[in-house]
Structure 1
Amino acid sequence: MDKEYGRLLYNYLLKTGMAEGLATYLNLILLLLGVLVVVLILDLLIWKTLRAISVRVARKSKNNFDNFLVTHRVPRYVAHIVPFVIFLEFIPVAFVDFPYAQGIALKTTKIFFVLLILLIFRKFFKSVNGYLKTRPRFKDKPIDSYVQVFMIFAWIIGILTIFAIVTETTVWKFFTALGAASAVILLIFKDSILGLVASIQVTINDMVRIGDWITFEKYGADGDVIEISLATVKVQNFDMTITTIPTYALISDSFKNWRGMQVSGGRRIKRSLLIRQKSIRFLTPAEIESLKKIHLVEAYITSRNDQINSYNEANQINKDLLVNGRNMTNFGLFRKYVSNYLENHSAINKKMTLMVRQLQPTPQGIPLEIYAFSSDKRWENYEYVLADIFDHLLAALPYFSLELFEYPVSKNVVDFSDDTLNA
């Protein structure tokens, strides 16, 4: 049938007295020109139809997904499918007298058709990517990684299909040969495979999202994640520089994700005051009466002092020495003062852990650690709250006869020169 239709023009040219060889080539050229004109007209008509349908659907649609499809020209590329198929079916007719050229034309057209399908998939996934990024539910998800994974699988299938077209073999035979060379392929594409696996794990385990604040000391990253792709993660540091981290490093190395703090009710304050050990002592009755003037511990001192006096009197404790019986210390009273101060501080979240604790003594003094949470998690405000709290506590220390440890400076160092010793 192909020969009959393909030689209609050829037979006509022979009847006009044209040479057989010239008639053969002219028949091929005219048939190709004719089918190209038909295909181009059909492509234009289908595109016009799809565009009209797209406009009508867009007017009735409640979301803007169709806008992304039009922006990425998905309907325009879809319009090429039918003309491509028609051209593919017409090749045997046009090349009826050129079997070798017919095989090349068929393979070339099929390869371009596969590339067209891949291009449509790529444009479609880009449209899906752009649309999902406008949805609040997917705004912080690594959509780029999903799209890249889908496109990798699409390209693998496309390349295998092209290989099958060129070699005129089946895909299964290709997989058999691929298995024999798998070790070499794994070595060549090691980074790509690691990136693919890591990207899937990061996505499934929800380790990192776009917008998360992460700290990755190994790569000098400390800022917000702005992009997650198959191979890399981009972090915009707080100094506005960009750090690129390999995706597989997120599962092979340790990093800190501050998302837990950001979604919680507060940001942790964990800092210590190093109290000089020699400044810690028992309080005398006169000092206790004087410290009652401090509003935050007035009620505590009164209640606690009554309990201590009752105990000491009931047990006939000799109070000529302060160490006997039960007593209050300036350090213990200051610890209670700090606790009350934090409980009354407006910037501290009272629903989260609030603790003032004494840690193990060190050569630099006894650490008094404040463990609490700031209600405001914004970095600037958090630092302001932190500074405000410790400014007050440092200024309050002398009222309890406590000293902060610090290394001696030159003016406090005694000069043990020979003249001083001789004097």
Structure 2
Amino acid sequence: MNRETINTYACLLRNYLTDLGMGEYWAALLNVIANVIVVAVVATILDIVSRKIIVQLFKAFSDKTKTTFDDFLVKSNFPRFVAHFIPLGLVWYLLPSIFQDFEPVEQSVHTLALLYLVLLSILVFRSLLRTANNYLRYSKEKYSDKPLESYVQVLMIFAWSVGIFLLINILTDFSLKSLTTLGAFSAVLLLIFKDTILGFVASIQVSVNDIVRIGDWITFSKYGADGYVTEINLATVRVQNFDHTYTTIPTYSLIADSFQNWRGMQESTGRRIKRSIFIKQNSIKFLSAEELEQLKKIQLIAPYIEHRERDVTKYNKATEADKSLAINGRNQTNLGIFRKYADAFLHENPAINKEEFLMVRHLPPTNKGIPIEIFCYSYDKTWVNYEHIQADIFDHLIASVPYFGLELFESPSGKDLANISLNTRK
């Protein structure tokens, strides 16, 4: 249907009312009102019908294809937004005919249509970004732990900036052609989006340098965060703590402050156990032959005691050491044999990774005794299992201490002090 035919139909009511003797102004006004109502009803019906048809076509198409991209398009309402362009196009085409007797009104409605077109275009662009984000995150494994939200937010900020400028330009004919105006506008944008720009730079560095991924376990004491990263976006990093609370961390803080990322441990061949037990210093002593014979009953260290005993005896004979005093020559101590027992126990433990570093050592004496540190790695890195393995090791070692004539250090309790006081009185 050409423009002349449309104009003829659009003036039917006006011509009819004029023929009946009504004034031209009122006839034209009623004609415009009637045209607006008719076009509004048609556009609404067209919008509903086209939306249903396009959505169903998209769903049918997505069900037949192997790719999931079109599925995410449907979920992000892309077909619904696209369907709105059809009634908008109809209204746009009919505007000159509807308001041919009221050109100023036509200009105003045309402006509104332009505003709606800009907003609709932004919504379509946002839908495409969300689709791309979901598709890459859930369909492409290599992007599942990348901060895609940051890039989506930056592009949306750019889209809204362009959209706001176009809206202002449509409403006021404002132009950014002069460099002075462009510079001022840029300064305002930099001031408004300072934190956003910092976050964007940080998110790029986080992604490029592989500092943090979604799913990483991080500890960030400054913000009280200790848990798994669930989201990385332009402004914040979201962490789900182990008590199921959430902590939000500014993205920029990931490169400005220090935090702990446990990914290296999770990707390694073992999880470190590093803990000490404290031995009373006055319980350490040289061992007599009878005590050594008793300790030989402990199967794990019997070969070691025998081998070490031969070396000590050989050395003492060679040096003619006076063994009437135990301090002369070489001797075995209960603490030394206990250390060897702890080392042998760890090597026999199937839960400990023997290919990783393994050591039982003395630490410098303290006012709480001599720390004997266990340093090794468990095969199982799952937190609960790791704690069970660690507890089993120290349960056994703590229970083993008395067999070597050693005592564990423990600060005196109120009952201990009461006993001391009672014994003093006696």
Equivalent in the alignment of 2:310: 306
Contact 2:334 2:405 in 1 (8 A): yes
- How big is the shift at 1:400? 1.7
Identify if the C-alpha distance between structure 1 residues 6 and 23 changes in structure 2 by more than 3 Å, giving closer, same or farther: farther
What's the CA shift for 1:334?
1.3
Distance 2:158 2:49 in 1: 33
Q: Distance in 1 between the 2:424 and 2:27 partners? A: 124
1:380 is aligned to: 384
Task: Give a deviation string over 1:253-286, Cα, whole Å, max 9, x none.
Answer: 3332222222222222110111222222332333
Q: Secondary structure at the match of 1:353?
A: coil
Partner of 2:276: 272
Give distance in 1, aligned partners of 2:194 and 2:151.
20
Question: 1:213 aligned to 2:213?
Answer: no
In 2, Cα distance between equivalents of 1:236 and 1:383: 21
Farther-moved stretch of structure 1 (374-383 vs 56-65): 56-65
One-letter amino acid matched to 2:229: V
- 1:143-154 residue pairs with structure 2 within 5 A? 143-154=148-159
Unaligned runs of 5+ in 1: none
Q: Note the C-alpha offset of 1:186.
A: 4.5
Q: Could you tell me whether the CA contact under 8 Å between 2:151 and 2:200 is conserved in 1?
A: no
2:267 aligned to which of 243, 250, 263: 263
Alpha-carbon separation, structure 2, partners of 1:383 and 1:351: 20
Matched, 1:281 2:292: no
Q: For residues 54 and 181 of structure 1, do their structure 2 counterparts lie closer, same or farther at Cα, with a shift above 3 Å needed? A: closer
TM-score by length of 1: 0.84
Partner-residue secondary structure (3-state), 1:134: helix
Deviates more, 1:183-192 or 1:344-353: 183-192
For 1:156, which of 127, 138, 161 is the aligned residue? 161
Counterpart in 1 of 2:69? 65
* Structure 1 residues 334 and 176, CA gap change in structure 2 (3 angstroms): farther
Deviations along 1:114-138, one digit per CA (max 9) or x if unpaired, are 1111111222333334444433614
| Counterpart amino acid of residue 168 in structure 1 | D
Cα separation, partners in 2 of 1:229 and 1:317, compared to 1, 3 Å: same
Q: Is the 8 A contact 2:59 2:71 kept in 1?
A: no
Using the TM superposition, give the Cα deviation of residue 71 of structure 1 relative to its aligned residue in structure 2, in angstroms: 3.1
In the alignment, which residue of structure 2 is the partner of 1:122?
126
CA contact (8 A) 1:202 1:250 kept: yes
Deviation at 1:61, TM superposition (A): 0.7
Q: Please, which moves more after superposition, 34-43 or 100-109?
A: 34-43
Aligned equivalent of 2:233, options 224, 229, 245: 229
1:368 to partner: Cα distance:
1.1
Q: Is the 8 A contact 2:358 2:376 kept in 1?
A: yes
Once residues 365 and 172 of structure 1 are traced to their aligned partners in structure 2, the CA distance between those partners, rounded to angstroms, is: 79
Listed one character per residue, the Cα deviations across residues 56-86 of structure 1 (whole Å, up to 9, x for unaligned) are 5224311333233223331222122244345
Quick one: which of 329, 332, 338 aligns to 2:336? 332
Corresponding position of 2:15: 13
Q: Secondary structure at the match of 1:296?
A: coil
Q: Aligned partners of 1:220 and 1:308: how far apart in 2?
A: 55
| Cα distance, 1:342 vs structure 2 | 0.7
2: distance between equivalents of 1:162 and 1:187?
Answer: 21
Q: Hey, what does 1:241 align to over in structure 2?
A: 245
Instruction: After TM superposition, give the deviation of residue 328 of structure 1 in Å.
Output: 2.3
What is the alpha-carbon distance in structure 1 between the residues aligned to residue 128 and residue 231 of structure 2? 20
1:210-264 Cα shifts (integer Å, max 9, x gaps): 3332323333333333333333333333233333333333333333222222222
Partners of 2:97 and 2:180 lie apart in 1 by: 36
Per the alignment, residue 398 of structure 2 pairs with: 394
Aligned-partner residue type, residue 360 of structure 1: P
State how far apart, in whole Å, the 1-side matches of 2:380 and 2:140 are. Answer: 24
Q: What is the aligned-residue RMSD (CA, Å)?
A: 3.6
Question: Contact 2:146–2:213 at 8 Å: present in 1 too?
Answer: yes
Q: Kindly indicate whether the alpha-carbon contact (under 8 Å) linking 1:6 and 1:96 is maintained by their aligned counterparts in 2.
A: no
Contact 2:43 2:91 in 1 (8 A): yes
Write out aligned runs for 1:36-115 (5 A). Answer: 47=51, 50-51=54-55, 53-115=57-119
Distance in 1 (alpha carbons) for counterparts of 2:309 and 2:424: 48
**242-251 or 341-350: which moved more?**
242-251
How far the C-alpha of 1:48 sits from its partner, in A, is 6.2
How far apart are the structure 1 equivalents of 2:366 and 2:184? Answer: 64
Change (3 A) 1:59 1:219: closer
What is the aligned-residue identity percentage? Answer: 50
| Equivalent residues in 2 for 1:162-201, closer than 5 Å | 162-173=167-178, 176-177=180-181, 179-180=183-184, 186-201=190-205
Q: 1:41 to 1:321 in 2, by over 3 A?
A: same
The alpha-carbon distance between structure 1 residues 72 and 411, as it changes in their structure 2 partners (threshold 3 A), is: closer
Query: What SS class does the counterpart of residue 317 from structure 2 fall into?
Result: helix
Give the Å deviation of 1:184: 5.8
Q: Displacement, 1:364?
A: 1.7
Matched residue SS, 1:243: strand
Contact 1:275–1:404 (Cα < 8 Å) also in 2 = yes
What are the superposed Cα offsets for residues 307-333 of structure 1, whole Å, 9 maximum, x if unpaired? Answer: 233333334444343333333222222
Preserved contact between residue 10 and residue 23 of structure 1 (Cα < 8 Å): no
Give how far 1:291 is off. Answer: 1.6
Residue 276 of structure 2 aligns to a residue whose secondary structure is: strand
**Alpha-carbon offset, residue 392 of structure 1:** 0.8
Please give the alpha-carbon distance, in whole angstroms, between the structure 2 residues aligned to 1:416 and 1:373. 42
Relative to 1, partners in 2 of residues 1:176 and 1:309: Cα closer, same or farther, differing over 3 Å?
farther
Q: How far does residue 165 in structure 1 lie from its aligned partner after superposition?
A: 1.9
Asked if 2 retains the 8 angstrom alpha-carbon contact of 1:223 and 1:235, the reply is yes
Q: Deviations over 1:15-42 (max 9, x none)?
A: 8466432354355446555655665676
Structure 1 residues 228 and 366 mapped into 2: Cα distance closer, same or farther (>3 Å)? Answer: same
AA at the equivalent of 2:15: L
Query: May I ask how many residue pairs the two structures share in their alignment?
Result: 420
Which secondary structure does the structure 1 equivalent of 2:249 belong to?
strand
